Amino acid sequence: MYSGKARAYTNIALIKYWGKENQELIIPMNNSLSLTLDAFYTETEVTFSKELKEDQFYLDNQWQDSKATLKVSRFLDFVRSKTDSSLRAVVKSKNFVPTAAGLASSASGLAALAGAASDALNLNLTPEELSRLARRGSGSACRSIYGGFAEWQKGYSDETSYAVQIPSSDFENDLSMIFVVVNDAQKDISSRDGMQRTVETSAFYDGWLQTVPQDLAKAKKAIKEKDFIALGEVSESSALKMHGTTLAATPPFTYWSAESMKVMNLVRQIRNGGLPCYFTMDAGPNVKLLVERKNEAALLSAMSAHLDAKQLVVAHAGPAIEILSKEDA
């Protein structure tokens, strides 16, 4: 038997990725920029064995059916192909993230699977190689290989599409992100389906795509200069533009709920009152609030006046993927 175990943390894109140029290779239409966070993560153990006739997948101690296991098996095929291995595996994954609720569980999940599987087969991959491998499971997973800020460079082929670390002089440690969980149920339209519909039918999509390079440049400049206001403004703008593209799709759809809009309006009111804070949203109804760490308590207090405290989860900058020792496994 060959076993490996890894822990990977979720990342939230500040400059969004939305749409694939190549569906099979998961090469995106645009570069994106994210912040890895410490509050949500996935731990995955992979054990390859000669005794197994097929892959088995357990999520949160529950056996998963053939449909759920198929995605894991297809990903493991990429890993097996690197060593000409035909060994089947047992995958045991624990999500400390509500699955498919817009909280980026696929990013941490597939990054952890990539790390554990490659560790089990002793592939000794560099961060760049591991990022590229994780991308084949879920695009955003390539960014969860790194702690702090990361940029997914879209590239033009399997070899050139991967994430890299963004130097930040520890600026990420000046920031907090507050997750406002308005709904942790599984969403109606998956990110994958939503992206494809938007790319193929949205009248707004080309306009969104043209603005991404400028937004990315603004965000990287803000990180370099430790300019929270500039980073917050461009992050909120990127999220609004991305979600705007879904409204012009055919048929139109949105990941927003009435509660999402309530939270966004609250953020604007608090900001207009003099407390700098900004929101971002991914493919789900939950809202993430970006604030300077020194103002974290003040923002929590302001939000708690309108929301249940149980809906608010505080996160800070998270670490890179961790390959856990066999003793931990």
Q: Give the domain ranges of the chain.
A: 2-170, 173-316
* 0.85 exceeded by pTM: yes
| pLDDT score of 329 | 41
| pLDDT score of 98 | 55
| pLDDT score of 184 | 67
| pLDDT score of 171 | 98
Q: Is the predicted pLDDT of residue 231 greater than 80, yes or no?
A: yes
Q: Which residue has the higher pLDDT, 102 or 125?
A: 125
What average pLDDT does this structure show over 147-162? 98
What average pLDDT does this structure show over 203-223? 97
What average pLDDT does this structure show over 196-213? 97
- Give every CB contact of residue 8 below 8 A, 6+ residues apart in sequence: 41, 42, 44, 107, 108, 109, 111, 112, 115, 141, 144, 145, 321, 322
What average pLDDT does this structure show over 233-253? 97
Confidence of residue 279 (pLDDT cuts 50, 70, 90): very high
Q: Is the predicted pLDDT of residue 7 greater than 90, yes or no?
A: yes
Q: How far apart are CA 136 and CA 25, in angstroms?
A: 6
Confidence of residue 187 (pLDDT cuts 50, 70, 90): confident
Q: Which residue has the higher pLDDT, 256 or 326?
A: 256
| pLDDT score of 160 | 98
Residue percentage of the chain with pLDDT more than 70 = 95
Architecture of the 173-316 domain: 2-Layer Sandwich (3.30)
Contact status, residue 144 vs residue 25, Cβ threshold 8 Å? no
According to the 3-state scheme, what is the secondary structure of 149-172? EEEEECCCCCCCCEEEECCCCCHH
Confidence of residue 326 (pLDDT cuts 50, 70, 90): low
Q: 54-103: per-residue pLDDT in tens?
A: 999 999 999 999 999 999 999 999 999 999 899 999 999 999 875 544 46
Q: How far apart are CA 299 and CA 102, in angstroms?
A: 22
Q: Is the predicted pLDDT of residue 129 greater than 50, yes or no?
A: yes
Q: Domain 2-170 maps to which CATH number in 3.30.230.10, 3.40.50.300, 1.10.420.10, 3.30.1330.200?
A: 3.30.230.10
Kindly report the length of the chain.
329
206: enclosing H helix or E strand: helix 205-225
